[in-house]
Amino acid sequence: MPARMQRFRLKIPSVTENLQLIRDFVLKIADNAGFNDENQEKIALAVDEACTNVIKHAHKFDSRRLIDVFVQTDPNKIKITITDRGRGFDPRKIKDPDLKKFVKESRHGGLGIYLIKTLMDDVHFEFNPGVKNQVQLTKYKDGPKMN
């Protein structure tokens, strides 16, 4: 298990086709950092959801745009920072989903942000449309840190 801090970066065209590659990239790093299978899967799913939001909402499926996935690991945690420079939307305005209501309204989306918050220990959004939007996802090896 690496004792020091390590950094990895993937800058990749903003297309849904690349979601598998992004998941594989994050899975491998989380595995090398010593996270168990269940947590590796949670991390990869959270990153998939965040990148899907970038592709759909910030970049509006514009494949010329890039998604920047920056991963930092240390012996205690993994932190993934996903950055875009699109118009985006403010994820803080998204309410927790009411599945019954969503089903009644035949909605196809609206679950991603809630999933991210559920899967990760710390989630931090920075919203600055057209300049830089960032989501920071942190998972600790020993569970969430109490404040």
Partner 1 sequence: MENFQVAREDRSGVTILRLKGFLDAHTAPHFERAIQELITEERYHIIISMAELNYISSAGLGVFMGFIEEIREKKGDIKLSNMSDKVYKVFDLLGFPALYQIFKEEDEAEKEYNAK
State phi, psi for 53 to the nearest 5 degrees. -60, -40
Residues making contact with partner 1 (CB under 8 A): 16-17, 19-20, 23, 41, 45, 48-49, 52, 55-56, 97, 99-100, 102-112, 114-115, 118-119
DSSP class of 14: S
Nearer to partner 1, 54 or 78 (CB): 54
Task: Give the list of residues 6+ apart from residue 77 with CB closer than 8 angstroms, or none.
Answer: 138, 139, 140, 141
Smallest distance, partner 1 to C-beta of residue 12, A: 13
Smallest distance, partner 1 to C-beta of residue 2, A: 26
Nearer to partner 1, 30 or 72 (CB): 30
d(CA 118, CA 136): 14
Nearer to partner 1, 2 or 109 (CB): 109
d(CA 54, CA 99): 23
* DSSP string for 56-73: IIISTT-TTSEEEEEEEE
Smallest distance, partner 1 to C-beta of residue 140, A: 19
Smallest distance, partner 1 to C-beta of residue 3, A: 30
Nearer to partner 1, 114 or 140 (CB): 114
